[in-house]
Amino acid sequence: MNLGAHADFIVAAYTVAVLVVAGLIAWVALDYSAQRRLLGDLESRGIKRRSRAKR
Amino acid sequence: MALIDLANPTRFLAFCQRALPWLAGATAIAFVIGIVMAFNAPDDYQQGATVKIMFLHVPAAWLAMACWALMSAAALGTLVWRHPLADVTAKAAAPIGAALTLMCLVTGSLWGRPMWGTYWVWDARLTSVLVLFLLYLGVLALYWTADDPNRGARGAAVLILVGAINLPVIKFSVDWWNTLHQPASVLRIGGSAIDPSILHPLLLMALAFLLLFLTLLLAAMRNEILRRRVRAMQMLQAQRA
């Protein structure tokens, strides 16, 4: 594929886009596992949300 | 399930559980097709191959603005109805919008250097998008530094609504002022000015970015609801101690 005389700029733009998207996906995935771990720890210590405790 | 049912956080989490795999799959398929089409699109008669940067820059710019518009609707929900999911939406959307605005600015600069001969000019369109990025950072700072999450949410909602004034400024900056940035060529009265061979890959990449945005937004909202549950349980634990 020939990207012409400005190939460096095109490759740099797509690299930035991949890094931004990968960063967002990593942020969401890591945050999810962190919150699940914290919830699991609290539930294992017998802490329940008020709405669950009433049942 | 009616749309109003999703206003309940527990039902919303169940909806996320079902919807996220489908949305993620659709996003991946749209990106594969979009990128194949983008790299098979002909070179522009003026821009040459650098038109390929537009397939990233334009969707990022559209979504950066659409995300702030969504946050503005959510900010109204926070201030007027004090619905917890409204604040969850705004807080979850802000980092995604900031990242898309950054992508728009950087890819625009990388296009500008070979086409305009400069990475940056202080023209109205570029400056107003930079202001949008700074507004996103301001909202994130309010959310992340507030001691009381409710006060942080109200402060952020006010800033979001004030910042919404910037949206028409961005959109019409190319009409109101003499800018180096070209005027609208897709969303304009009289239809698109772009040839279908370039317009179709652009629209497909925009769809891919929209699906990515929705996927990330739902996932981030799910995380934020879980974070609030963790906080409520930690406070319960502290009361018992």
Count Cβ atoms below 10 Å from residue B3 Cβ, excluding itself: 6
Provide the ipTM: 0.90
CA-based torsion, B83, B87, B92, B93: positive or negative: positive
A20 in reach of chain B (CB within 8 A)? yes
B106 in reach of chain A (CB within 8 A)? yes
Per-residue pLDDT band for B92 (boundaries 50, 70, 90) equals very high
Q: How far is the C-alpha of B199 from the C-alpha of B44, rounded, in Å?
A: 11
> Is the Cβ pair B219, A28 closer than 8 Å?
yes
Q: How far is the C-alpha of B84 from the C-alpha of B97, rounded, in Å?
A: 20
Q: How far is the C-alpha of B88 from the C-alpha of B52, rounded, in Å?
A: 35
CB B136, CB B91: distance < 8 Å: no
Chain B nearest-CA distance from A6, in A, is: 7
Q: How far is the C-alpha of B234 from the C-alpha of B241, rounded, in Å?
A: 11
User: If you search the block for the tokens 């979504």, which residue do you land on?
Assistant: B63
CB B81, CB B111: distance < 8 Å: no
A1 in reach of chain B (CB within 8 A)? yes
**How far is C-alpha B141 from the geometric centre of its chain's CA atoms?**
17
**Using CB atoms, which residue from B111, B216, B233 is nearest to A24?**
B216
Domain ranges of chain B: 21-183+192-240
Interface probe for A, chosen from B13, B51, B56, B116 (most Cβ of A below 10 Å), is: B56
Chain B nearest-CA distance from A55, in A, is: 15
- Coil/strand/helix, residue A10: helix
B103 in reach of chain A (CB within 8 A)? yes
Average pLDDT over residues B77-90: 91
pTM value is 0.92
- Cα→Cα distances B197→A38, B62, B194, B210, B216, Å: 50, 20, 8, 21, 30
What was the pLDDT predicted at B136? 98
In single-letter form, the type of residue at position B75 comes to: A
Chain A nearest-CA distance from B219, in A, is: 7
- Coil/strand/helix, residue B50: coil
Chain A nearest-CA distance from B14, in A, is: 15
Identify the DSSP state of B94. H
Report percent pLDDT > 90 for chain B. 74
SS3 content of chain A, % helix, strand, coil (to 5): 80, 0, 20
Query: pLDDT tens for residues A5-50?
Result: 889 999 999 999 999 999 999 999 999 999 999 999 999 988 877 6
Residue B174 structure tokens: 């190319």
Residue B197 structure tokens: 């061979």
**Using CB atoms, which residue from A21, A27, A35 is nearest to B226?**
A35
**Using CB atoms, which residue from A6, A25, A32 is nearest to B114?**
A6
> Is the Cβ pair A17, B222 closer than 8 Å?
no
Residue B230 structure tokens: 């963790």
B5 versus B237: the higher-pLDDT residue is: B237
Average pLDDT over residues B183-210: 87
- Those residues whose C-beta lies under 8 Å from the C-beta of residue A9, and which sit 6 or more positions away, are B50, B53, B110, B111, B113, B114
φ, ψ of residue B190 to 5 degrees: the values are 100, 0
- Those residues whose C-beta lies under 8 Å from the C-beta of residue B228, and which sit 6 or more positions away, are B84, B88, B149
